[in-house]
C-alpha cells in the first residue's frame, strides 16, 4: 500500500505565548516493511530555530523554537510512504513464555539486552499483582509466547471498551483497569503492563491506521487520530506487533511512527512555553491510500 498521511495539530492559546520550545515525533520510521519516501513538517508561525535528530530508540525528532509572540500554533506533518504486508510467524511454534523470561537473565547478547530494557517499570506503566493475575489466564504453563500474547490481545479487546471521554493522557493504567473504558493508549499500556508483570519485554508503538478500510471490511477503531499498539519480543523472531484496541495483528493498514517504553517516549508533540494560559487543541489525521 502507498499512503499519503496528513497530521495537523492546532493550538489556540487564551493569552499570547512569548517563547516556546517544542519536540515533534511525526516522521514515520523506515522499516523492512515500511519505506518513507517523503516527509516534511510545516509550522506556523515559522520557527526561528529548527533541527532534526534521532532519539535513543531511533525515532526521528524535530526540534523548533518560536521567539515571537503568538496566539495560535499550527503543526502539519505530511508523509508519503509504502507499507508492505508481512507474513505472521507461526505463533504456536514460538518458544514457551517461561523459557523466554528465563532466557533474558542469562544471555548477554545485544538483542537480548535491548529487549531486557522493556521489562522494567516506567513512569506510566508499572507491574502489579493485579495485572499479573489478569494476564495469567492467557499464560498457562508451557504455552507458546506469541499464542499467549495473541490471546491476551483478544481478552483485552473483549473486556474493555473504547471511550474517548473516559480517560486523559495522564490516566494511570490501574485506573483504566478498574474503569474498563479508555482509548488506544490505555489499551496498549494495559497489555504492556500485563506482560511486564510476568517478566516479559513489551514496548509501546505509536502510528496511524488506514482511515478508510477496503470494501467489505470494518473501519478500525482509532483511525481518526494517532493510534497506539504494543509489541512483544520473541527470541529468533524479534518484535511482533499486537493491537488490543482492534484485536488484530498489525499489517499494511498500520503505519509505524515511533516506539519506546510507554507514551512518554513517543509523544507526537511535546513542548515548554512561556505564557498562553489555557489552550484549545484540535487534531486532524488523514491516511489516504494512493
Q: Do 138 and 51 lie in a common domain?
A: no
Note whether 173 and 273 are same-domain residues: no
**Same domain flag for 40 and 161:** no
The rounded distance, in Å, linking the Cα atoms of 137 and 43 is 48
The answer to whether position 173 is within a domain reads yes
Q: What is the CATH number of the domain that holds 42?
A: 2.60.40.2250
Q: What's the pLDDT at 106?
A: 75
Answer yes or no: is 84 within a domain.
no
CB-CB contact of 9 with 274 (8 Å): no
As a whole number of angstroms, the longest Cα–Cα distance in the chain is 61
Amino acid 109: pLDDT: 87
Residue-level pLDDT at 277: 84
Give the CATH number, domain containing residue 227: 3.10.620.30
Residues with pLDDT less than 70, the chain: 213-214, 218-224
238-260 tens-digit pLDDT: 999 999 999 999 999 999 999 99
Q: Can you give the residue range of the structural domain that contains 272?
A: 2-79+267-289
User: Three cell numbers at 150?
Assistant: 495473541
Does the pTM of the predicted model rise above 0.75?
yes
74 found inside a domain: yes
Q: Cβ neighbours of residue 146 under 8 Å, at least 6 residues apart? A: 89, 91, 94, 232, 234, 237, 240
Is residue 85 assigned to a domain?
Answer: no
Same domain, 172 and 245: yes
Please, are residues 3 and 210 in contact by the beta-carbon 8 Å criterion? yes
Is residue 139 domain-shared with residue 196, that is, in the same domain?
yes
Q: Is residue 124 part of a domain?
A: yes
Residues 120 and 225 occupy one common structural domain? yes
Rounded Cα–Cα distance for residues 132 and 197 (Å):
5
Closest CA to 173 of 128, 125, 133: 125
| 15-26 burial: b if 16+ Cβ within 10 Å, else e | eebeebbbbbbb
User: For the chain, how many structural domains are there in total?
Assistant: 2
Q: Are residues 9 and 46 in the same domain?
A: yes
Cα–Cα distance, 74 to 59 (Å, whole number): 22
Considering the domain architecture, whether residues 18 and 49 belong to the same structural domain is answered as yes
Residue 76's nearest CA partner among 283, 256, 290 is: 283
- The answer to whether residues 99 and 236 belong to one domain is yes
Q: What was the pLDDT predicted at 214?
A: 66
86 belongs to a structural domain: no
Do residues 132 and 108 both lie within one domain?
Answer: yes
Contact 171, 151 (CB under 8 A): no
Amino acid at each position: 500500500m502507498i499512503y499519503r498521511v496528513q497530521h495537523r495539530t492546532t493550538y489556540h492559546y487564551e493569552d499570547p505565548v512569548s517563547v516556546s520550545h517544542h519536540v515533534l515525533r511525526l516522521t514515520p520510521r523506515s522499516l523492512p516493511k515500511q519505506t518513507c519516501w517523503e516527509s516534511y513538517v510545516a509550522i506556523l508561525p515559522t520557527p526561528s530555530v529548527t533541527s532534526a535528530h534521532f532519539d535513543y530508540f531511533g525515532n526521528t525528532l524535530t526540534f523548533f523554537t518560536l521567539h515571537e509572540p503568538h496566539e495560535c500554533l499550527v503543526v502539519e506533518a505530511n508523509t508519503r510512504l509504502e507499507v508492505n504486508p508481512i507474513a505472521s510467524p507461526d505463533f504456536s511454534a514460538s518458544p514457551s513464555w517461561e523459557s523466554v523470561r528465563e532466557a533474558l537473565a542469562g544471555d548477554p547478547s545485544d538483542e537480548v539486552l535491548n529487549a531486557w530494557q522493556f521489562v522494567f517499570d516506567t513512569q506510566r506503566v508499572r507491574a502489579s499483582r493485579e495485572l499479573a493475575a489478569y494476564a495469567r489466564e492467557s499464560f498457562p504453563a508451557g504455552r507458546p509466547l506469541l499464542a499467549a500474547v495473541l490471546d491476551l490481545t483478544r481478552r483485552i479487546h473483549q473486556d474493555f471498551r473504547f471511550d474517548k471521554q473516559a480517560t486523559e493522557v495522564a490516566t494511570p493504567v490501574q485506573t483504566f483497569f478498574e474503569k474498563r473504558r479508555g482509548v488506544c493508549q490505555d489499551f496498549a499500556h494495559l497489555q504492556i503492563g500485563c506482560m511486564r508483570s510476568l517478566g516479559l519485554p513489551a514496548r509501546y508503538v505509536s502510528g496511524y491506521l488506514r482511515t478508510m478500510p477496503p470494501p467489505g471490511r470494518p473501519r478500525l477503531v482509532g483511525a481518526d487520530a494517532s493510534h497506539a499498539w504494543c509489541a512483544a519480543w520473541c527470541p529468533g523472531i524479534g518484535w511482533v506487533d499486537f493491537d488490543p484496541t482492534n484485536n488484530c495483528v498489525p499489517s499494511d493498514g498500520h503505519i509505524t511512527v515511533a516506539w519506546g517504553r510507554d507514551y512518554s517516549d513517543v509523544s507526537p508533540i511535546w513542548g515548554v512555553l512561556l505564557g498562553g494560559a489555557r489552550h484549545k487543541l484540535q487534531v486532524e489525521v488523514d491516511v489516504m491510500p494512493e
